[in-house]
Amino acid sequence: MRADLHTHTVFSDGLDTPERLVERAVAAGLDALAVTDHDTADGLPRARAAASGAGLDLIDGLELSARLEGHSVHLLMYGGDAEEPALAAELGAIRRGRDERIPAMIDRLGQLGLPLDLEEVAAFADDASSIGRPHVADALVARGYVADRSEAFARWLADDKPGFVDRYATPLVDAIALVRAAGGVAVVAHAWSRGGRHRLPERVLAELVAEHGLDGVEADHPDHLPAERAALHALAARLGVLATGSSDYHGAGKKAGYHLGACTTAPEQYARLRALVAARRDG
């Protein structure tokens, strides 16, 4: 059983349609897949239809933009109802925050000598439910300002770079509560990527589990070093929660090392997740 539980489509900032993502997953030898677009479940009906015809076990998901003490944290929801009123309203607020910051980001980049207009950025969004930084990055590439998305983020768009503009994100504790209230399973994405171990140390993760119902951590991820993966697995075992593994795939060639199946979830962890999704749905 090879399960990749964190992937993206054109409905957020991925490069593949849901159908193409499923096709690529099957070609990569995956048995199970979760589609976890940023702050939207709009691509799931097409992904479900494609997966049912391909013999691929698909888990509904999304990746919720959250914040803890001023730092960005992403929360994966598995199962659950994205149309549950409170969660749907919050997802709408997050997407509006994404849309509203893009004009400000374009203005800032213009002041930095990298003029763009909203129409050319929007042209890269395709079916996306909202325009995000990756679409700005694509416009920068098209203009010849940078070679690829990675350079766009490294030089201009990452959180600590001159073109960055902040946006609304849900407080992490509230995000966990919304996911649980919608019948979903809550797993912190790439918990220790990009210095995340300082923002989410073991003490904080343990508190989120004990006091707020966090269901697991994404332990195996391309951003995590081997020692970090081992520590997260050990922590999850001590806390009795899920330890998942995923590629965080956004599209072929987007970033080296993030290919489908680059990291996968152990079969016993996948079985636990499936059982928990079913219990929340039936409960």
Each residue's pLDDT tens digit, 103-133: 999 999 999 999 999 999 988 887 777 788 8
Res 254: pLDDT: 66
Q: What is the pLDDT of residue 253?
A: 66
Q: Which residues contact 1 (CB under 8 A, 6 or more apart)?
A: 31, 32, 267, 270
Beta-sheet pairing, 71-79 with 57-68? antiparallel
Residues 5, 61: contact at Cβ < 8 Å? yes
Residue range 3-91+183-282, CATH number: 3.20.20.140
Which parts of the chain sit beneath pLDDT 50?
A: none
CA–chain centroid gap for 163, Å, is 22
What's the pLDDT score for residue 129? 77
The single residue listed with the structure tokens 């019948």 is 183
Give residue limits of the domains in the chain.
3-91+183-282
